[in-house]
Amino acid sequence: MIDFTRSQLTHFVIHFVGNKGLGEDLTLSEKHIEISDDFLKDTVMRYLTSPFKTDIYYQFKSKNEMHYHDVNGYIQDIFKSQGSFIESSKKIAEHLHYQSMHPKIKGGEFYVCYFKDCMVDGELTDAVGLFKTENKDTYLKVFQHLDNFDVECDNGININKLDKGCIIFNTNKEDGYKISIVDTNNKIADCAFYWVEDFLNTKIKQNAYFHTNNFIETCKGFCEEVLTENNNVTKQDQMMMLNKSTSFFKEKDNFNLKEFENEVLAQPEIKEAFTDYRKNYNDKMDLTAIDDFEVSPTAVKKNQKFMKSVVKLDKNFHIYVHGRHDYVEKGYDDEKGLKFYKLYYSNEDLGN
């Protein structure tokens, strides 16, 4: 959990980082920005910190995985001495400019901030924030003059949408710090990793979210690749496995492999097949098998839409099955030459 209720923005500088590959400039500031207006200060704090709410954390990669110029080193300098804030922020901006080579990367203002007294997972600590604005919105401004009005338009930043940002908390330094990252403009395939990997050089931290997400991905893969009709497993049985897996993670605070096997897999041949699949999956993804971990509600919610039991029949019908698979029958109509599903129910709700 991340809480900025007690936090103060003590250092704030803005640089402009253009696209180096397109010949755009890098403009570096020499002074802090001082904000005296309380409403403006609160607005800036809300804009910079409100998107950071989840338990998905990253960490800087180890030294043998780092670039020659790394953000980690500059962040360490800032935590060591805030007197180096301006110079370190300029070096970070130069590094970002160097990484901005792809023609689809947009230039924009680059903010470097120092926050005092941030709460992260029950620990009070300071943090450094790095943020970049890439998109501007057009706003209408209406002015009243006695009994008439004027209208003007201007471009500005939408404070409800942070394009790119990361907050590095001054904790777990030996493991690459604890970092929360936002990147809402990562849909372009060629530069999807520009912020997280090329610039920050981070990887996801192995915590509850990491372990929960990996195990759910394993379950999805097992159902899609092993529990198939080619292996004499009906779609109905595949859906039952998905439903049981989803329910298990939604109901548990902590994951235990033995409980999962007994409650979800049940049959010895399914257990054996899942064990083999999981081993191969972990080997392919270079993961260590963790059999006990805290369940992350964020990971469960994120994957829930992919774990839905949906039967897609040609392009005409979708059947959503949430439980009671014994109320669903599958058959074949010889006369029509078509497959069919028969559904049993007690009540009907014709909601919108």
Tell me the one-letter amino acid at 235.
K
Exposure string of 274-293, with b = 16+ CB inside 10 Å and e = fewer, is: beebbeebeeeeebeeeeeb
Q: How does pLDDT run across 310-325, given as a tens digit for each residue?
A: 666 777 777 766 656 6
Residue 265 gets which letter from DSSP? Answer: I
More confident call, 197 vs 240: 197
Confidence of residue 229 (pLDDT cuts 50, 70, 90): confident
Identify whether the C-beta of residue 138 lies closer than 8 Å to the C-beta of residue 155. yes
Tokens matching residue 59: 């960490």
Identify whether the C-beta of residue 181 lies closer than 8 Å to the C-beta of residue 130. no
Tokens matching residue 316: 């005409």
pTM of the model: 0.79
What is the three-class DSSP state of 155? Answer: strand
Tokens matching residue 347: 């009540």
What is the three-class DSSP state of 212? Answer: helix
Helix residue ranges per DSSP H, the chain? 38-49, 71-80, 85-99, 208-225, 235-251, 257-260, 268-285, 297-304
Q: Is the pLDDT of residue 26 over 60?
A: yes
pLDDT of residue 326: 65
Report how far apart, in Å, the C-alpha atoms of 177 and of each of 24, 126, 139, 169, 286 are: 32, 12, 39, 6, 22
Instruction: Tell me the CB-side half-sphere exposure of residue 64, using CA atoms within 13 A.
Output: 0
DSSP string, 32-97: PPP---HHHHHHHHHHHHTT--SS--EEEPPGGGS-SS-HHHHHHHHHH-GGGHHHHHHHHHHHHH
Q: Is the pLDDT of residue 67 over 80?
A: no
DSSP string, 5-24: TT-EEEEEEEEEE--GGGT-
- No. of helices (H) and no. of strands (E), the chain: 8, 17
Q: Is the pLDDT of residue 245 over 80?
A: yes
Distance CA 110, CA 104 (A): 17
Identify whether the C-beta of residue 132 lies closer than 8 Å to the C-beta of residue 164. yes
Q: Is the pLDDT of residue 37 over 70?
A: yes
